[in-house]
Amino acid sequence: MRYGHFDDERREYVITRPDTPLPWINYLGSEAYFGIISNTAGGYSFYRDARLRRLTRYRYNNTPFDLGGRYLYLRDSISGDFWSPSWQPTRSELEDYECRHGMGYSAISSRHAGIEAETLYFVPVDENLEIWRTRVTNKRDAEAKLSLFSAIEFCLWDAWDDQTNFQRNFSTGQVEVEGSVIYHKTEYRERRDHFAYFACSEPLAGFDTQRDTFLGAYNGWDSPSAVKRGESFDSVAHGWAPCGSHHVELTLAPGESKEVIFVLGYWENAEEAKFDPPGSQTINKKLVKPVIDRYLRPEEAEGAFQRLRDYWSELLGILQVTTPDEHTNRMVNVWNAYQCMVTFNMSRSASFYESGIGRGMGFRDSNQDLLGFVHMVPERARERILDIAATQLPSGGAYHQYQPLTKRGNDAVGSGFNDDPAWLILGVAAYLKETGDISILDEEVTYDNEPGSESPLYEHLQRSLRYTLQRLGPHELPLIGRADWNDCLNLNCFSTTPGESFQTTENKEGGVAESVFIGGLFVLAAEELAQIAELRGHTDEAESYRADGAKMDAVVREHGWDGEWFRRAYDYYGDVIGSAQNEEGSIFIEPQGMCILAGIGLDDGKAEKALDSVASKLATEHGIVLQQPAFSHYYVNLGEISSYPPGYKENAGIFCHTNPWIMIAETIVGRGDAAFDYYRRINPSAREDISELHRCEPYVYPQMIAGKDAPSFGEAKNSWLSGTAAWNFVAASQWILGIRAEHGGLRIDPCLPKEWEGYEAERKFRGATYQIKVSKPAGVCKGVTRVVVNGEDVEGNLIAPQPAGAEVVVEVSIG
Ligand code: BGC
Ligand code: NOJ
């Protein structure tokens, strides 16, 4: 069953009924000011950091699930009937409800009692504000007298404090109201240099800024007192809970439309210019006013919206493909790329499943996000790499996360995840391959943000690799530390205390638990660093990295191979995990993918064997589960992984992030049908028809789909913020379609389903535009036989970088 459809032309997903199984959300904003918006206008906004600069309040895990947001109410002045044009929060009956989620904007429209309303929500590029443009149209054949009310709830900035420290917060809230603008200035009188504002383009019939006055002490958002009675209270908040509500009266002749614009934004004043007049307690509005006035003008709002659309056309224009499969086209061309931008911006901090107050930017996560983002805005990728590297510890190790506002690392979710450092090498390698900008390697970067500790970025990478080499266990495999990619495989944790964090507890120090996965990752990273060393002309060094990689490769084959698949780890006692010897958890997906990506077992049949085991033991119709058999009870020596009931999350859920590793591995061994089949199983667009089961948005990947051991097998959870976005993009574009940036140019090496006869693509790369046409006979998957560039045959399938501005026509034949 579907709840809407794709509009591929407009790059929108159109939701046609408001009661989707879960809120289906979208993101507003692209660089500093962000918002989350659901299909019923729920959600919240923040500036840079969802915890420390939260503009509007949001209550998670609510009933209904999604409540609180960017609400509007319409009220018929004659009948007294009122409703929400976005359905929530009144949930009145609507005709023609439609929510169009697009690239950085959402438009919600509906009709009730002959009144149409359409609201477009977006954040202009390069501005710290959001626009809500509402058009109300009278479709009745008589004049309509209406009231339009807006409503938001201000958050007192630090979202954690906002939810916990009421003895203080109920006395700090402050606002100013001037004309049609409500200024939220809690704590501005003391140490904050920022305030929020909520403005309206029309003269007001009234306003409210004290939530409980607006709502009434015992009313919810579905029946605010002011809306019910059709008149604001003109309340000025002082303490308690500041909110923002404008009241605009509209009289519309039959067929008449009226546009009302609201602007919600964030502003910072210089410390010495906070007040006007100086010495007073009144916000200095001299600089912010022109910005507010500008975007309240319809032509400016429209211009800003067009710029946003152009911005996305340009970004998505970097890679456009036309294949025989509409789900591939739509995900690669639009939605998967878009999700990569969102994960790059948010890491794992703010979604409807990540509260924005818990996790900051992940070290590992952000590096992986780069893999799917780097081609879009390489300058931002560069900046991100330098930020991440600046938090690296002198040992080469890493804090597991850092806070976006301060850019400092913290160990709130622990440290000593021993896979972390290697991902920095992979992130930097991706940047270098895309851009060729080797100057980044000479950038002086701190350790642990400590001034004076700077060394060139290149040395950070060297320390990353060394970090693993200096931490080998009894089998010469890398020590796992707190955990590796699988945050829940906590082999030194041994927790028996309820509520103790699996992510920070380590009851058995000095353990010898080892990770085969990090072994594979190390082999991959060593080769990447060797190539980077070569770029710098350090051939000897490159040799030594390759030798380290080869040694680890041999160790993995010796101690990490189980006979039919790669093993997962050795635990605190030195006992094997992920082996036929284990009754539960005898095969894990991660080492099968990572070891093959690293090239281990390609020459001796191990790779194919491992993939056959994945197919027979882990693959399901809804995707590949993380391990089997699921853990039926809690194992103190394994940690959080066994805390989940079978089939969920890391305990045998379909952890979508890992599936593309298997897709890539299948392309490496040349099995295009298998790769594409796995791709299709978790592709959200291909799952649109089973939305009642899948439940999450059909336009973005979820982190997890319940595995076959769960009662809700096939149900997705935790949409949007997941490494799944970047890795699926990499699998589809670079390995199945095979368009891959390398240091030496653009490689075209597709591995396609047998029945395809080719595909076409346009790729912008280092300033040139490549028109690529791949042809192949049915029945073949892989193996480029001929490459013609601008009419001339070339050797091999790596196309050297072409001059900037060049139009390059590439014809590729397979088989
Ligand atoms: C989740 C992991 C997550 C970790 C760190 C665990 O509860 O299952 O997926 O990475 O927490 O926040
Ligand atoms: C989610 C985390 O964000 C990611 O870093 C981790 O690899 C997976 N969980 C698996 O535990």
CB of 650 sitting under 6 A from ligand 2: yes
Residue 151 bridge partners (DSSP): 71
pLDDT at 546: 98
Q: Helices 589-597 and 606-613 meet at what angle, rounded to 10? A: 150
Residue 389 bridge partners (DSSP): none
For residue range 669-705, what is the model confidence (pLDDT) as tens digits?
999 999 999 999 999 999 999 999 999 999 999 999 9
For residue range 259-290, what is the model confidence (pLDDT) as tens digits?
999 999 999 999 999 999 999 999 999 999 99
- Is the CB of residue 556 less than 8 Å from the CB of residue 566? yes
Identify the CA nearest to 369 among candidates 408, 401, 342, 399: 342
Collect all residues with Cβ–Cβ distance below 8 Å to 451 and sequence separation of at least 6.
none
Residue 37 bridge partners (DSSP): 26, 43
Reported pTM:
0.98
812 to 162, 558, 804: CA distances (angstroms) = 58, 40, 22
Whole-number Å distance, alpha carbon 413 to ligand 1 midpoint, is 9
Q: Is 467 helix (H, G, I), strand (E, B) or coil?
A: helix
Residue 761 bridge partners (DSSP): 321, 772
Ligand nearest to the CA of 642: 1
pLDDT at 413: 77
Whole-number Å distance, alpha carbon 703 to ligand 2 midpoint, is 9
Sheet containing 181-184, strands listed edge to edge, beginning at the edge strand earlier in sequence? 4-7, 12-15, 95-102, 105-112, 115-122, 129-138, 257-268, 194-200, 181-184, 175-178
Collect all residues with Cβ–Cβ distance below 8 Å to 332 and sequence separation of at least 6.
319, 321, 729, 732, 733, 737
pLDDT at 295: 98
pLDDT at 414: 75
Residue 792 bridge partners (DSSP): 789
Considering Cα of 707, then 711, then 716, then 721, what sign does the dihedral take? negative
Which atom of ligand 1 is nearest to 358's Cα? 12
Residues of the chain with pLDDT under 70: none
pLDDT at 696: 98
For residue range 114-152, what is the model confidence (pLDDT) as tens digits?
999 999 999 999 999 999 999 999 999 999 999 999 999
Q: How many angstroms separate the CA atoms of 115 and 631, rounded?
A: 56
CB of 484 sitting under 6 A from ligand 2: no
Other Cβ atoms within 10 Å of 254 Cβ, number: 12
Residue 249 bridge partners (DSSP): 147
Whole-number Å distance, alpha carbon 647 to ligand 2 midpoint, is 16
Note the residue count of the chain. Answer: 815
Whole-number Å distance, alpha carbon 361 to ligand 1 midpoint, is 14
CB of 367 sitting under 6 A from ligand 1: no
Class of residue 433 by CB neighbours under 10 A (exposed 0-12, middle 13-18, buried 19+): buried
CB of 503 sitting under 6 A from ligand 1: yes
Q: Is 260 helix (H, G, I), strand (E, B) or coil?
A: strand
CB of 626 sitting under 6 A from ligand 1: no
Arithmetic mean of pLDDT over the chain: 97
